[in-house]
Amino acid sequence: MAVDVRTRRDRIEQRVRSAREINFAALAAEFDVSEMTIRRDVEALEALGVVRRVVGGAIAVQGKDSEPAFATRMADAAQEKAHIAEVVADLIGRNETLILDSGSTALAVANSLKGRELGLTVVTPSVLVALALVDEPDVTVVLTGGELRAGELSMIGPSAEDTLANYNCDTYVMGVAGIDGERGISDYHQAESRVKRAASARADRVIVAADKSKLGRVTFVSIAKLSQIQVIVSDGPADHPALVAARGAGVDVICVASQDDSQAEVSAR
C-alpha cells in the first residue's frame, strides 16, 4: 500500500535508527517507488542530521541525539522516575481527562495512578501505558490509532495525531528527552514529537515529567517553548539553569528533593 511522503520518511528514519544503515534499492522496492524518490527522502533526512549518505545508501549519524533503547531508559534512574511519577500522580484530580504520553517516565506515572480511584479517562499513544491501566476498574483507557512503533510500542503517525485532535482534555503528562533554558523542550524522534505537539494542543495543562539527566540537554526535535508548559516535575536542583529559565517563563517548577523524601519543594512562579 502506498504511503504519503511524511509517513515514508518517518519509516525510513525509524529503519536507519534501528538498523544503523539503509540501502536505496531495498527501500525503493519496499515502498514501491523509484530510487530517485528514496534518494530525495534520504537527502531530506540528511539535511536534518539524521543520516549521512554513502554509496548505495546511507548510515545513521552517531551522536548525542541517538535515542537510547526503551529497555535502557527504563533501567536508567528507575527509582528517581518512580518518585517523580508519584509527585505527578498527586497533581491529578478526580474525574480528570488525562493524556498520558509514551516512554519510560509516563509508564512510571501510569503505575503510580493505580489504586488511587480517581475515576480518570486516560488517552494514550502508548500500548504499555494502556496495558498498565486497562484493568483498573475506575479508569477508562482510550488508545489512539496510528502506526505501532517497534521497541517503544507507541502509536505514531497521522492517525495518532487525528485521534488526539478529537478530544478536549484537562491535563497532558509529557515525557521528554531534553529541557533547555533557551531551546525549550525537545525529543529524539520526529513522529513521536508530532504526537506530543498534538497532545499539548488538546490539554488545558501540560505537565513535563523529567529526571535531572534531561536538564540542560537539547535533542533532535523541538517540541515546545518553556512558556507553553504549565508544570515541570524533576529531581534536578532548583537552581539548575534550565529550571531557573522555566520559572522565568512562568512555569510552576516542582523539585522533588530526593527519592527518600516524600515532600516536594514547589518553586514559586
> What total of structural domains would you count in the chain?
2
Same domain for 85 and 45: no
Instruction: Supply the pLDDT for residue 52.
Output: 78
Q: Which one is predicted more confidently, 2 or 184?
A: 184
Domain of residue 89, CATH code: 3.40.50.1360
Instruction: Supply the pLDDT for residue 208.
Output: 98
Same domain for 230 and 164: yes
Q: What's the pTM value of the predicted model, to 2 decimals?
A: 0.73
Instruction: Supply the pLDDT for residue 173.
Output: 98
Same domain for 90 and 45: no
Q: What kind and span of H or E run contains 268?
A: none
What distance in Å separates the CA atoms of residue 15 and residue 57, rounded to the nearest whole number?
Answer: 12
pLDDT 10s digits, 5-63: 888 888 888 788 767 788 999 999 999 999 999 999 998 888 776 777 878 888 876 55
Q: Is residue 168 part of a domain?
A: yes
Domain of residue 14, CATH code: 1.10.10.10
pLDDT 10s digits, 142-186: 999 999 988 889 999 999 999 999 999 999 999 998 999 999 999
Same domain for 169 and 217: yes
For the chain, the average pLDDT equals 87
Same domain for 251 and 218: yes
Q: Average pLDDT of 99-126?
A: 96
Q: Average pLDDT of 210-235?
A: 92
4 residue type, one letter: D
Same domain for 193 and 106: yes
Same domain for 78 and 35: no
Q: Is residue 241 part of a domain?
A: yes
Residue 46 carries which DSSP code? H
Distances (CA, A) of 19 to 28, 102, 147, 215, 244: 17, 22, 19, 29, 39
Same domain for 74 and 9: no
**131: its cell numbers:** 496495558
Instruction: Supply the pLDDT for residue 16.
Output: 80
What distance in Å separates the CA atoms of residue 151 and residue 169, rounded to the nearest whole number?
Answer: 27
Same domain for 41 and 94: no
Return phi, psi of residue 60, to 5°: -70, 145
**113: its cell numbers:** 495512578
The 3-state DSSP class for residue 184 equals strand
Same domain for 75 and 45: no
Could you say which of 60, 78, 107 is where a domain stops?
60
Integer-rounded Cα radius of gyration of the chain? 19
Distances (CA, A) of 246 to 167, 255, 256: 28, 12, 16
What distance in Å separates the CA atoms of residue 30 and residue 33, rounded to the nearest whole number?
Answer: 8
**67: its cell numbers:** 535515542
Q: Is residue 65 part of a domain?
A: no
Same domain for 204 and 127: yes
Domain extent for 51: 5-60
Q: Is residue 213 part of a domain?
A: yes
What distance in Å separates the CA atoms of residue 6 and residue 73, rounded to the nearest whole number?
Answer: 27
Q: How confident is the model at residue 260 (pLDDT cuts 50, 70, 90)?
A: very low
Residue 64 pLDDT greater than 80, yes or no: no
Return phi, psi of residue 249, to 5°: -90, 5
Same domain for 102 and 23: no
Mean pLDDT is highest, among 86-90, 104-108, 219-223, for 86-90
